[in-house]
């Protein structure tokens, strides 16, 4: 008997690795993408939305899911950006590329976002699929926190959240203590983790290990298709960044691992622990503090999240390229 597809919402700030995660989700039969919701993060909200629409157009789906815009800033902090890795347009500067005839290689998408506000759409879809909806978050958690405020009963409806965010036994990436998505909006991250919705946290502990090498990508994208071209073009900027910074020929694709976990939880090994996000520290704002001490902390430290701590990098890369490239 065929297994049922998982109904998911993807909350995202595309972002090069978000783009790969979106492509993975939309080419995976295990998932039924009900909506894509966008949030300010890697770049500004309107650019994130344009990028999500562009990815849908490149995939040429007959019935693309709706794209709804959400928060254009964190709950109570100034917006940040990570254009140094993702490029000013969030997709590795592909918007300035031209073809041989001088025309833009990636013109503005023709698809439009829906008029619905993302946090409202999240609440609507949760009500439509009681206990049957998975939310995969690939950016700051602002939209989910806003949805929780709009509908305090949301934890009773949502089946699970899979989140790319945090660093539990590993150092941060924006600061020594904090990972980008949690650092952008620590208040939202804390609210979502404390909400009681079953949550799996896929952080830098595993996404720094499971990466995408340039060599493997080029090998897998030899066939000249629009999608393969896009994958090469969109990752080139990030790959130069990693090469300059770390001497690594490839790039991290954090969000793709979170999506893979939504497809099949066996891609990571997790531990159930108590997690809180620091919202006040001068040096530690956005830090995800996981109680990994090897003895019970009683009621105060009751586990509230499954934290990913182990991954097989070659299984990750193989599965990713198999799903997202045209062979
Ligand atoms: C996260 O930050 C963003 O730059 C990436 O898209 C990913 O979601 C990694 O820290
Ligand atoms: Ca992201």
- Domains recognised in the chain with CATH numbers: 6-324 (3.90.245.10)
User: CB burial class (10 A; 0-12, 13-18, 19+) of residue 116?
Assistant: middle
Percent of the chain with pLDDT over 90: 97
> What are the tens digits of pLDDT across the range 239-277?
999 999 999 999 999 999 999 999 999 999 999 999 999
Which CA distances in Å does 138 have to 7, 35, 130, 240, 304? 16, 14, 22, 22, 20
Which of 180, 253, 260, 308 should be mutated for ligand 1, with most atoms under 8 A from CB? 180
17 CA → ligand 2 middle, Å: 6
Residue bearing the CA closest to ligand 1, atom 4? 42
> What are the tens digits of pLDDT across the range 252-262?
999 999 999 99
Q: What's residue 285's pLDDT? A: 98
What is the CB < 6 Å shell around ligand 1?
A: 15, 17-18, 42, 82, 138-139, 164, 173, 179-181, 254-255
303 CA → ligand 1 middle, Å: 25
Banded pLDDT at 294 (limits 50, 70, 90):
confident
Containing H/E element for 191?
A: helix 186-193
- 37 near 68, Cβ under 8 Å? yes
Which of 81, 255, 259, 277 should be mutated for ligand 1, with most atoms under 8 A from CB? 255
Residue bearing the CA closest to ligand 1, atom 10? 180
Mean residue pLDDT of the chain comes to: 97
Distance CA 92, CA 201 (A): 26
180 CA → ligand 1 middle, Å: 6
Sequence-distant (≥ 6) Cβ neighbours of residue 48 within 8 angstroms: 12, 13, 14, 15, 38, 39, 40, 41, 42, 90, 139
The Cβ of residue 213 has, within 10 Å, a number of other Cβ atoms equal to 16
Which atom of ligand 1 is found nearest the CA of 82? 4
Determine whether 318 is an active site residue. Answer: no
169 CA → ligand 2 middle, Å: 20
100 CA → ligand 1 middle, Å: 33
Sequence-distant (≥ 6) Cβ neighbours of residue 271 within 8 angstroms: 292, 306, 307, 309
* Residue 87: DSSP 8-state: -
Of 129, 237, 254, 274, which is the active-site residue? 254
Q: Which ligand is nearest to the CA of 182?
A: 1
Which atom of ligand 1 is found nearest the CA of 14? 6
Which atom of ligand 1 is found nearest the CA of 179? 10
> What are the tens digits of pLDDT across the range 67-106?
999 999 999 999 999 999 999 999 999 999 999 999 999 9
The pTM assigned to this predicted structure is 0.98
Strands 67-69 and 31-38: parallel
Q: Which ligand is nearest to the CA of 203?
A: 1
Asked if residue 2 has pLDDT above 80, the reply is no
């Amino acid at each position: 008997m065929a297994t049922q597809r998982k109904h998911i919402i993807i909350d995202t700030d595309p972002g090069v690795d978000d783009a790969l995660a979106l492509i993975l989700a939309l080419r995976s039969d295990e998932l039924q993408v009900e909506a894509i919701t966008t949030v300010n993060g890697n770049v500004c909200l309107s650019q994130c939305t344009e990028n999500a629409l562009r990815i849908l157009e490149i995939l040429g789906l007959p019935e693309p899911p709706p794209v709804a815009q959400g928060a254009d800033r964190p709950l109570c902090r100034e917006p940040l950006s990570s254009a140094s890795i993702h490029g000013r347009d969030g997709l590795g500067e592909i918007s300035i590329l031209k073809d041989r005839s001088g025309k833009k290689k990636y013109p503005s998408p023709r698809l439009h976002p829906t008029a619905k506000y993302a946090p409202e759409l999240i609440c609507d879809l949760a009500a439509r699929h009681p206990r049957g909806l998975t939310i995969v978050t690939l950016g700051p958690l602002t939209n989910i926190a806003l949805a929780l405020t709009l509908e305090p009963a949301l934890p009773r409806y949502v089946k699970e959240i899979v989140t790319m965010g945090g660093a539990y036994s590993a150092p941060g990436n924006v600061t020594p203590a904090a990972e980008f998505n949690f650092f952008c909006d620590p208040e939202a991250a804390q609210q979502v983790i404390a909400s009681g919705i079953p949550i799996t946290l896929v952080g830098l502990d595993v996404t720094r290990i499971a990466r995408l090498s340039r060599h493997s990508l080029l090998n897998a994208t030899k066939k000249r298709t629009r999608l393969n071209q896009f994958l090469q073009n969109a990752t080139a900027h990030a790959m130069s960044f990693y090469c300059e910074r770390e001497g690594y020929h490839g790039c991290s694709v954090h969000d793709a691992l979170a999506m893979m976990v939504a497809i099949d939880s066996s891609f990571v090994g997790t531990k159930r622990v108590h997690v809180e996000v620091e919202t006040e520290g001068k040096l530690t704002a956005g830090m995800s503090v996981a109680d990994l001490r090897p003895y019970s902390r009683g009621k105060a430290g009751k586990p509230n999240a499954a934290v990913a701590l182990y991954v097989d990098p070659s299984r990750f890369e193989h599965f990713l390229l198999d799903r997202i490239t045209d062979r």
